[in-house]
Amino acid sequence: MAEPLQTRSLIAEAWRTGLAALAPNAAWLALFALLMGGWSASTADADRIAITTVLAGLAFAAGVRLSLGLYRTLLGTRSGTLLSLAHANLAATLGFGFIAFFILFFCGAFGVMMLHLSGLVDLAAEPDAAAVSAAQARLYGTPYGAALILVSLAGAAALAFVALRLLIFAPMTVTASKAHVFRTWPLTKGRVLPLALAALATYAAPLVAGLIAMRLIGTYLPASIAGDFGRGALAVVCLTPFLLAGHGVAAAAFQRLKPEPEPALAEAG
């Protein structure tokens, strides 16, 4: 039976093991930062589309290899392959993006309907952008705006629910050396609340802190190729706690929720 998820121990283990996994994987982290810096610098010139594409591919590969190394360290295993983890990441991204597209599309369509029903602007008269923006600003002070807020919050909650249910797909993929994405869904059933609380301390908090640090430090970098390179590398450095704690909580949750190994059949004798 899966061990109950205790939020405090999950958070503590995620940060402790995540930070400890930094040293063994520092070289891959440095390579990832350098490639992200190169990619960022290359995007300043539209004529470098080929170089930008190559650097983006290399940065993705380095990021996946960093992730593989972190999970190997966290799980104490040498299993897992670069291709299987890349496959799982792409599948999860596409699947989540597909779900997000329809949720955002529905929320957008609902917003247009609320704006039309509110009577604040006549959409049939094809008003200009300024009139629509002004009507949208006034909409939130009406019951129609309240309905839109509730629907938007429900959509965000649905996306968060899906993300939490898929939280352990990467460590499971590494352990099995085979892509596992939605096969992890049953393992997180009934565990969303503790996972959500742990994610606030290991995903949301370091992500927000990293983005703020990026914004503050990035203002001191020059508007040049060197500055663009610095901003790309800086993003990796500032988000390193997010990467470490995020991998740490996924690995810690997987260790608690992974299915028990099937007992070996006794040899006929």
Which pLDDT tens digit goes with each residue over 95-130? 999 999 999 999 999 999 999 898 888 888 888 888
Domain that holds residue 79: 7-257
Angle value at C-alpha 175, between 94 and 34, nearest 5 degrees: 60
Q: How many domains does the chain have?
A: 1
How many angstroms separate the CA atoms of 183 and 172, rounded?
9
Which residues lie below 8 Å from residue 80, measured CB to CB, with a gap of 6+? 68, 71, 72, 173, 174, 175, 177
Structural domain includes residue 267: no
Q: Determine contact, residues 144/115, Cβ cutoff 8 Å.
A: yes
Q: pLDDT over 90 for what percent of the chain?
A: 76
Structural domain includes residue 87: yes
Residue 267 has pLDDT above 60, yes or no: no
How many angstroms separate the CA atoms of 145 and 132, rounded?
14
Q: Determine contact, residues 29/241, Cβ cutoff 8 Å.
A: no
Structural domain includes residue 263: no
Residue 234 has pLDDT above 50, yes or no: yes
Cα distances from 178 to residues 82, 86, 263, in angstroms, run 10, 10, 21
What pLDDT does residue 90 have?
Answer: 94
What pLDDT does residue 181 have?
Answer: 86
Structural domain includes residue 262: no
| pLDDT tens for each residue of 59-94 | 999 999 999 999 999 999 999 999 999 999 999 999
Residue 54 has pLDDT above 50, yes or no: yes
Structural domain includes residue 264: no
| pLDDT averaged over every residue in the chain | 91
Q: Determine contact, residues 7/197, Cβ cutoff 8 Å.
A: yes
Structural domain includes residue 2: no
Structure tokens at 36: 């992200």
Helices (DSSP H) in 43-81: which residue ranges?
49-75
What pLDDT does residue 1 have?
Answer: 47
Structural domain includes residue 236: yes
How many angstroms separate the CA atoms of 14 and 20, rounded?
10
Structural domain includes residue 269: no
The gap from C-alpha 155 to its chain's centroid, in whole angstroms, comes to 17
Residue 206 has pLDDT above 90, yes or no: yes
